[in-house]
Structure 1
Amino acid sequence: MDYGLLVIGIALLLVSYLVAVKKQTWLLAGFNEKMIKNKSLLGTVTGGFFFLPFGLLAVINSFIDYPYEGTVLIIAMLVLLTITYVFINRRLLD
């Protein structure tokens, strides 16, 4: 059991809750708030489609030990990040 990955997964789940449910978009760094059309949808997309699946994956991977675990996590993170990035740029930016 990897306790470090478990803590990271729980932190990602907490951020997912704060961003998706509580709409705390100030936790998201690196975007211009004036260019976003719908901040509520931004929170739902980012929290629900990036932080939640990645947090769950990190928690599950903390209990399971298998080869190439780091590679799987990085690929999953990049895929989720790319999907979220493309959606935000196509739908939410002016």
Structure 2
Amino acid sequence: MTINRREGFRVGWRVGYNQGYAEGFETGYEAGFEEGKGFGYNEGCADALCLEEEVLLALQRLKELLSQGEVKFSGSAAPEICELLHKLGGMVRRGAG
């Protein structure tokens, strides 16, 4: 069975097209992967910094309340203290996860 020139050209063109498409896709995929990895890393760093700031703010407020002798589970500051402790517990769990 022989292939004439025209059919050989079409077959060769399809093979070349498919190979070029695959190589282009792979190059694009790799570039996208690198960009995505960088974006994910930056997002993770931003999340960690935000969490750290939240923890520090909550601890700072508790320190202020301690220095004022306001750390009691009854009285006017009790709801704020319970909320801060709950918030800190959530942040610690989120940071550990």
Instruction: Give your verdict on TM over 0.5.
Output: no
Higher-Rg member (1/2)? 2
The structure whose residues are more often helix, as a share, is 2
Q: Which TM class, normalised by the smaller chain length? A: 0.3 to 0.5
TM-score, normalised to structure 2, is 0.36
TM-score, normalised to structure 1, is 0.37
Which structure ranks higher in relative contact order (CA pairs < 8 Å, sequence separation ≥ 6)? 1
